[in-house]
A and B are shown apart, each in its own frame.
Chain A
């Protein structure tokens, strides 16, 4: 009955390393699509229904069975704190029939063949691997069972499996014993997956698999990578916006202590030295000639980011809002909102350790785009892509900062120049000035209320610097085809489908410095604008803000899920418009990548500053593979969103981005974090959805709305600052 495909898996895949047996697994089905990256980005942004873009249709090493009867999962998705390794381990363990203690997860290097063609980003890691990974694990379990049947001479039907042990007919064999000395495998059809209720680990708050490494200080980050005979490199970077490299005088630097070589390339100059400090000292002695076209100021940028300038692109239209809103009418409300330039400020600076030898290269680094990192290095060095091995490490924060890694190319060029491993990374000042920033935005919201307090028409105009456009993940041709920057409008569409007439228009602006992906993309700023405006409308309409929103949500599946999180947040928080004991509440909701999220905050004013005491967050990500880590993502995203909405702001002064250090770049610290965060998880979808970014959406508006109720001050600009 079962069709079997006999495949001889190459010897290489079964390399025995120190007695460890390695298994190659053939995946069933294909998850590749045409234009995969673009499809992935578009999917990630609107629905999070992104297919996994690794090649699961050819032999790939996903799992290794060790002689100690543990399973090593080679993850093509990187771990940057979001808890993906733990979720993947839970999904695999349940189908493999092993315990969590038997699972170990490591990063797959690109030479292993288990490479993700997309990226780790867009809150898609668990959702995109939900089906393929469980199918791979189930297929492997059946392969082991069938092989055990052969070795034990018992029919598969008489065998049972638990904790990595096959038993039957009074005999037992561990997985390790089954795979020993096997070089040929039958790949069965993909078995049926278990039912959700039969899972032991999926859906449970299992502790993070990387917890101990991170508590005891294991050297797991890109910054910690080391190789024998390693040298240190440092690249000269301009602090001026828009500077292009012309030439450099390296005469002094070349003779400085510890310097091995000053590497002059057509597009950059760097130095390689014996120690980090020697490399930095020599770098500072290089005289570089830069070409700078213009000395930019914050006012120039503010002038550029303005609705009405640049190319408009309609991204959402229902009915005829224009006709209604162009009338002279006292029931028309119109307000402007703004958000500033935001830095990633991840704690681990960008860096890479590169080792280029003859015709091959090995690069160890924190990256969210293993394939782009690999391809760019191969192209620059003229190497075959298969001869460039990217070895991803744990990331000291991602947040979108590592979706482009030109610094890895520079490290590889310098390693090639000296014939030894070279490690180089950004200083903190370089990190702040050469970031791929969250672009500033300007929003104009306009709506007309009917006599009954319902919205007749609404428009959202958003002007933003580029997010997706300009990123190497999006082909250059995408901009003219797509028109609007799909990263900039994330969260920008009006989610209240029961409004009869509405429209959203995105205005594209390309700024003189790099702007790109920042956790949740446009969601934070767009939701701040839309949900502040909804609150203003509710107040004019004399309605409870949550009920006002509920009345404008359409009756479909998406609408149902949004209504449910709103109701849950209101109920759990006991939301009220009243100010009680000097504290007021604020409400906001958003739907991001198909995950609805509603938040209620409780604020007071202390020493003339906004103090957030409590946040209640109701979110429906569908299945929570690990509810504890979903909660952790909500807690972190809420405080990170507060930080961006209340404190963070980059300026442009005399041609430079500033500030260049923590502190002056003000962020939320322990003292600013709410002491209470209550997370309510709903599950009105039958699969896992986006988690890492959606809870960043509502917080900014929720705080602003609470501040208005408390003080009467309507703050329409991030970072939120009281006027007195």
Chain B
């Protein structure tokens, strides 16, 4: 079957036998975007988190057919070295990653959270950021999430007003 969607703002049409193929493997193996990681295959760890129409989705358990006509964003499309997303900027400032394998999933989950809750409290973070990091970089991640909110609010003050 043919499936059409946008990947990191670029229109893409793919031909695939099985529309139930997880989006994760389409992104990694057909589109060669390796930043989205395989961790468990059962939506239990969050290493494969990306955005579909701005929502954080665990792509190992999301059939590619459901992406038809939608906007898919991966870590490669979140920001770039020249123009980092506030979350990436904060991750750099706080020197968060250790092994780094789970970090794209955490950054994507955080970016989606900040879209909904521009100034998350610790409780918001605890409730929404539920991925697994074995290096246990949680302490710095929490600091980076608060810092990302600050950076985003400076870049986009309108959001802060809405929130307040």
Q: List residues of A whose CB falls within 8 A of some B CB.
A: 80-83, 207-208, 210-221, 223-224, 226, 275-277, 344-349, 394-399, 427-428, 628, 632, 635-640, 643, 661-663, 667-675, 677
Contacts of B141 in A (CB 8 A): 670
A-B contacts, 23 listed (Cβ < 8 Å): A210-B97, A214-B97, A214-B100, A214-B103, A215-B107, A216-B84, A217-B74, A217-B75, A219-B35, A226-B32, A344-B134, A347-B132, A348-B39, A399-B134, A428-B44, A635-B136, A636-B137, A639-B138, A640-B135, A662-B40, A667-B134, A669-B131, A670-B142
Q: How far is the CA of A407 from the CA of B102 in the complex (A)?
A: 22
Contacts of B21 in A (CB 8 A): 277
How far does the Cβ of A561 sit from chain B's closest Cβ, in whole Å? Answer: 26
Please name the residue on chain A nearest to B125 by beta carbon: A670
Interface residues on B, range: 35 or more
Q: Determine if B126 is an interface residue (Cβ-Cβ < 8 Å).
A: yes
Contact with A along B59-91 (1 / 0, CB 8 A): 000000000000000111001110010001001
* Contact A217-B92, Cβ < 8 Å, known A80-B99, A208-B97: no
Asked if B104 CB lies within 8 Å of chain A CBs, one says yes
Decide: A662 and B45 in contact? CB cutoff 8 A.
yes
Which residues 29-68 in B have Cβ within 8 Å of A in the complex? Answer: 29, 32-42, 44-45, 47
| B34 contact set on A, CB distance < 8 A | 217, 219, 223-224, 226
A221 nearest in chain B by CB position: B101
Q: Is B98 an interface residue (CB 8 A)?
A: yes
Flag if B92 contacts A211 (CB, 8 Å). yes
* Contact in complex: B100, A210 (CB < 8 Å): yes
With A215-B84, A216-B75 given, can you name 20 additional A-B contacts, CB distance below 8 Å? A81-B97, A82-B98, A207-B92, A210-B97, A215-B92, A217-B76, A221-B101, A275-B25, A347-B37, A395-B99, A396-B100, A397-B99, A397-B135, A632-B140, A636-B136, A639-B136, A662-B132, A670-B125, A673-B136, A675-B142
Say yes or no for B149: interface residue by CB 8 A criterion: no
A81 touches B99 (CB 8 A): yes
Distance to closest chain B CB from A344 (angstroms): 8
Contact A223/B76 with A640-B134, A663-B44 known, Cβ cut-off 8 Å: no
Closest to B133 in A: A347
Contact A396 B99 (CB under 8 A): yes
- In whole angstroms, how far apart are the Cα atoms of A275 and B134 in the complex? 29
**Docked-complex contact B25 and A276, CB < 8 angstroms:** yes
The reply to whether B92 and A212 form a contact with Cβ atoms under 8 Å apart is yes
In the assembled complex, the Cα of A347 lies from the Cα of B104 at a distance in Å of 12
- Does B95 interact with chain A (Cβ within 8 Å)? yes
Q: Please, how many angstroms separate the alpha-carbon atoms of A638 and B33 in the complex? A: 33
Nearest CB on B from A695, distance (A): 11
Cα–Cα distance between A547 and B139 once the two chains are bound (Å): 30
Q: List the A side residues contacting B88 at CB < 8 Å.
A: 215-216
Q: Across the interface, name the chain B residue whose C-beta is closest to A206.
A: B95
B81 touches A349 (CB 8 A): no
Q: Which residue of A lies closest to B102 (CB)?
A: A347
Q: How far is the CB of A680 from chain B (nearest CB, A)?
A: 16
- Min CB–CB distance B108 → chain A (angstroms): 10
- Is residue B14 within 8 Å, beta carbon to beta carbon, of the partner chain? no
Give the CA-CA distance A382 to B108 in the complex, in Å.
Answer: 46
Which residue of chain A lies nearest to B129 when distances are taken between CB atoms in the complex?
A670
Query: Given the complex, which residues of B lie within 8 Å of A276, measured CB to CB?
Result: 25, 29
Query: In the complex, which residues of chain B have a beta carbon less than 8 angstroms from the beta carbon of A396?
Result: 37, 99-102
